[in-house]
Amino acid sequence: MNGTERRIGVLGAGSFGTALAVHLAGPGGHRVKLWARSAELASRMAAERANAGYLPGVELPERLAPTSEMEALLDSEFLLVVVPSHGFREVLRQFLRLDPEGKPLPLISATKGIETETLARMSQVAREEGTAAGREIHFAVLSGPTFAAELARNAPSAAVIASEDARFATDVRECLATSRLRLYSSPDVAGVELGGTAKNVIAIAAGTLSGLGLGHNTLAALITRGLHEITRLGIACGGQPRTFAGLAGLGDLVLTCTGGLSRNRQTGLELAAGKTLAEITGATQMVAEGIRNSIAVARLAAQKGVEMPITQQMVAVMHEGKSARQAVEELMTRELKSETEL
């Protein structure tokens, strides 16, 4: 941080939204208001100084103020939106209705996903909603290998801030970076958004392979070829190739495919154990974005004419009843090709 206390608003009190709020409101940090959709949750957080349902064992700092009143965040100098991708549009629309004629809105998305119906990335959703509300939005996306629990406990981490506005990216980077969260700036919004989205589907596949007991050789191959898929899609959507070798690409992919805290990897483990999606999603309030986004990523790939065989197989396993072992067999017996083909 640059030493200047700022007013930060965080829309979304799930695990990652709470972790960001906790981290940014830590010693020497900012004044942070954390919005929860549920008034009951906001009241409980304020009384208990914790969000035990989403981030157990983590105390909320004094500078962090939970609220269910979205109006309380209107004076934010930076607004972070940290909600599931299927709720991003409505939450932003609700916020813009409260202050439709204000100064440009400094918006940072920490949402990893795309809309299933429109296939819009969150930057595109923000542009559409800003235009509809007659409001200018300065947009950036925050992404990278950052588990919520580790970020909240100040484990050294690194991530990327991407914006088409280089000055805004620098302002956000300088404001939000801490001695335990190193931020790098990038102009590649599309690449960073798609890296954070598509890796969740590969992570479910990684969990499935691990659950089947197929070993490290198989997992390494999956991660490597998964990165090829992500890169192909990202480039087709205007992303820069180098982005996918960085924190928002390879870094996030490795973490999510191998880390024990990964909800998407855990989903794959449970699929391998024979559980249905209904059983998996019904047992937790946490959202594994890769479940819903597998369909959206596959549709976007088809629209762009991009081959994504791992993603297609995971859609078949999760949503069409194909067995995981059959999916692996079909991946292994595909037509042979050069590794350098993208």
Question: Is 286 found in the same domain as 183?
Answer: no
CATH assignment at residue 49: 3.40.50.720
Is the pLDDT at 245 greater than 70? The verdict is yes
Please write the tens of the pLDDT for every residue from 104-151: 999 999 999 999 999 999 999 999 999 999 999 999 999 999 999 999
What is the token pair recorded at 286? 């946490």
Q: In the annotation, is 304 catalytic?
A: no
State the catalytic residue, choosing from 103, 199, 275, 337: 199
Residue 252 is predicted with a pLDDT of: 98
Identify the three-state secondary structure at position 4: coil
Which structural domain range is residue 235 located in? 197-332
* DSSP string covering 139-151: EEEEESS--HHHH
Please write the tens of the pLDDT for every residue from 52-100: 999 999 999 999 999 999 999 999 999 999 999 999 999 999 999 998 7
How many CB atoms are located within 10 Å of the residue 274 CB? Answer: 10
Please write the tens of the pLDDT for every residue from 318-328: 999 999 999 99
Distance CA 328, CA 121 (A): 29
State phi, psi for 33 to the nearest 5 degrees.
Answer: -110, 125
Q: pLDDT grade, residue 37 (50/70/90)?
A: very high
User: Of the residues 137, 152, 187, which one is the last residue of a structural domain?
Assistant: 187
Q: For the residues 151-159, what does the mean pLDDT come to?
A: 97
Q: Quick check: is 2 in a domain?
A: no
Is the pLDDT at 1 greater than 70? The verdict is no
Q: Write the burial class of residue 201 (CB in 10 Å: 0-12 exposed, 13-18 middle, 19+ buried).
A: buried
Q: Quick check: is 212 in a domain?
A: yes
Question: Is 295 found in the same domain as 227?
Answer: yes
User: Percent of the chain beyond pLDDT 90?
Assistant: 90
Question: Is 227 found in the same domain as 176?
Answer: no
Could you tell me which residues come within 8 angstroms of residue 325 by beta carbon, excluding any fewer than 6 positions away? 212
Question: Is 139 found in the same domain as 73?
Answer: yes
Give the number of domains in the chain.
2
- In the block, tokens 């349902």 appear at 53
Is the entire prediction scored with pTM above 0.75? yes
Q: What is the DSSP letter of 2?
A: -
CATH assignment at residue 247: 1.10.1040.10
Question: Is 130 found in the same domain as 91?
Answer: yes
Residue 3 is predicted with a pLDDT of: 66
Q: Which of 79, 87, 129 is nearest to 107 (CA)?
A: 79
Is the pLDDT at 2 greater than 80? The verdict is no
- Report yes or no: 25 and 1 within 8 Å, Cβ to Cβ: no
Distance CA 2, CA 61 (A): 19
Helix boundaries (H) for 237-308: 252-258, 263-272, 277-282, 289-304
Please write the tens of the pLDDT for every residue from 286-331: 668 899 999 999 999 999 999 999 999 999 999 999 999 999 999 9
Distance CA 238, CA 241 (A): 9
Residue 46 is predicted with a pLDDT of: 98
User: Of the residues 187, 208, 241, which one is the last residue of a structural domain?
Assistant: 187
Is the pLDDT at 262 greater than 70? The verdict is yes
State phi, psi for 108 to the nearest 5 degrees.
Answer: -120, 120
Could you tell me which residues come within 8 angstroms of residue 153 by beta carbon, excluding any fewer than 6 positions away? 58
Helix boundaries (H) for the chain: 15-24, 39-48, 85-98, 122-133, 148-152, 166-176, 189-211, 215-236, 252-258, 263-272, 277-282, 289-304, 309-319, 324-332
